[in-house]
Structure 1
Amino acid sequence: MKNLRLIFGSGVQRRRKALGWTQAQLAERVELSADGISQIERGKIAASFDTIGALAEALDVHPAELFGGLPLVPGKRHLPLTKIVERLRDATPAQLKKIGVVVNSLLED
């Protein structure tokens, strides 16, 4: 399994870039240094629980999204997606196969 610090750091970096922010802009929002953000994004240091929470809040995502737990989506308006994911967790393999066929057909180019 990939190092959790790298997974988390990559999630922070992807979301920050999706918002069009620099490391300095994110750092200002969470009261860290730009170097601290850089180290977190590169997996060089581990973020405390408080820092994880502050980063998630500043980036407007659930902390799990920064660890790759849910797809990174804009804003906190991802409740429908969260509900879908929760329902998928209870689906049988046969149901998941059918769902995959439907989703693939809907998302084809």
Structure 2
Amino acid sequence: MINKKLAEQPLAQLLGQRIAELRKSRRWTQAQLAERLHVEPETISRFERGASAPSLHTLENLASVLRVSIGDLLVHSSTAPDDQAMRISAWLSELKPADRAFVTGIVQQLCERLRSPGD
């Protein structure tokens, strides 16, 4: 169910918020995202403010650079387990193999600890 407040926001604003959220989750500045997209930092600023929307071509490039699907750019952040797993997967994909193994080991231990009753 879509939050009524979200449904009332223009698509460009929702998309801009999502771009900013994904960029920040990777700890990138607007300039760093702009560099990866081969655009000016002001372009990223306009997208994130909802002042303008990216072309379909740029949307495709944004999704690729941010390692998400175009659909993921167009939907509001979700707390659904599959959506959270995709975000974690994107974060892990930027790590070296040894670091990925380390992080997944810690996550596994935490999950096992939290699942065990009565500790």
Asked if Structure 1 and Structure 2 have the same fold, meaning a TM-score greater than 0.5 normalized by the shorter chain, the answer is yes
Structure 2 partner of 1:42: 49
CA separation in 2, counterparts of 1:42 and 1:66?
15
Q: Displacement of 1:76 after TM fit?
A: 9.2
Does 1:17 find its partner at 2:24?
yes
Structure 2 partner of 1:3: 10
* Aligned-pair Cα RMSD in Å: 2.1
Structure 2 partner of 1:87: none
Gaps of 5+ in 2: 1-7, 93-114
TM-score where L is the length of structure 1: 0.64
Instruction: Specify which of 5, 10, 33 is matched with residue 26 of structure 1.
Output: 33
Q: Give the AA of the match of 2:45.
A: S
1:16/1:76 CA distance change after superposition, 3 Å: closer
1:16/1:56 CA distance change after superposition, 3 Å: same
Q: Percent identity?
A: 33
Count of aligned pairs between the two proteins: 78
TM-score where L is the length of structure 2: 0.59
Q: Deviations over 1:55-82 (max 9, x none)?
A: 11000111111111674513299xxxxx
Gaps of 5+ in 1: 78-105
CA separation in 1, counterparts of 2:51 and 2:10?
11
